């Protein structure tokens, strides 16, 4: 955790407040059961939690690879590298738990249609709008992922997965805060250049 916080601080020194008025793009639905209100969690079914977690990590890695190829912003490049590393580790941790348990789950080979459409959208954007759209997707994806992890950690049926969700939530929260800071920084720079 110290490494994530240190990297976050170094990556975004000088970035300030969270974004306001994020455009209305489709919300990433990491799990249909994810709660919209933190005070009233909806506990996802274990199979839904696993599927959503695996899909979320796949999406994060694929979107980050697009960002590495398309963005010319050094902060976004570093953020994308962090997403590939951290979500690779999270995916490996989940895979290890799934191997130990008796879960009837075959990981998907490709993204579902919603996440594939989001990656496709990133690939189609002009350079000027890429950074903003990528970071908006990251904010929405990490908000949904944080709800999923927190909800499952509070009452999921499988104890090892509950522990995993509780350990994953702070990492996802750190990513969300970084994405919000990136968005703020990008919009500040864009408003100054007008």
More confident residue, 119 or 15: 119
Distance CA 23, CA 28 (A): 13
Could you identify the residue written with the tokens 């690879």? 65
Residue 36 neighbours by CB under 8 Å, 6+ apart: 147
What are the sequence ranges of the domains in the chain? 44-192
Whether 20 shows a pLDDT value over 90: the answer reads: no
Residue among 86, 68, 88, 90 nearest 77 (CA):
68
- Predicted pLDDT of residue 193: 57
pTM of the model: 0.77
* Coil, strand or helix at 126: coil
- Predicted pLDDT of residue 191: 60
Could you identify the residue written with the tokens 């009452």? 155
- Alpha-carbon torsion angle 18, 129, 57, 182, nearest 10: -30
How far does the chain reach from its first CA to its final CA, in angstroms? 38
**CATH number, span 44-192:** 1.20.1260.10
Find the length of the chain: 194
**Joined tokens for residue 102:** 């008796």
**pLDDT (tens digit per residue) in 111-161:** 999 999 999 999 999 877 899 999 999 999 999 999 999 999 999 999 999
Whether 7 shows a pLDDT value over 80: the answer reads: no
């Amino acid at each position: 955790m110290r490494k994530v916080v240190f990297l976050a601080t170094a990556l975004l020194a000088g970035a300030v407040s969270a974004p306001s008025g994020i455009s209305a793009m489709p919300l990433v639905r990491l799990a249909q059961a994810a709660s919209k209100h933190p005070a009233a969690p909806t506990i996802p079914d274990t199979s839904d939690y696993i599927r959503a977690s695996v899909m979320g990590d796949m999406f994060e890695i694929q979107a980050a690879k697009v960002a590495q190829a398309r963005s010319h912003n050094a902060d976004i490049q570093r953020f994308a590298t962090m997403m590939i590393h951290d979500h690779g580790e999270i995916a490996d941790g989940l895979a290890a738990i799934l191997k130990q348990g008796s879960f009837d789950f075959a990981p998907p080979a490709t993204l579902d249609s919603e996440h594939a459409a989001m990656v496709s959208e990133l690939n189609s954007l002009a350079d000027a709008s890429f950074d903003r759209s990528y970071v908006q997707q990251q904010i929405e994806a990490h908000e949904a992922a944080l709800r999923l992890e927190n909800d499952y950690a509070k009452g999921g049926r499988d104890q090892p997965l509950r522990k995993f969700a509780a350990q994953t939530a702070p990492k996802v929260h750190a990513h969300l805060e970084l994405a919000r800071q990136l968005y703020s920084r990008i919009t500040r720079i864009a408003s100054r250049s007008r």
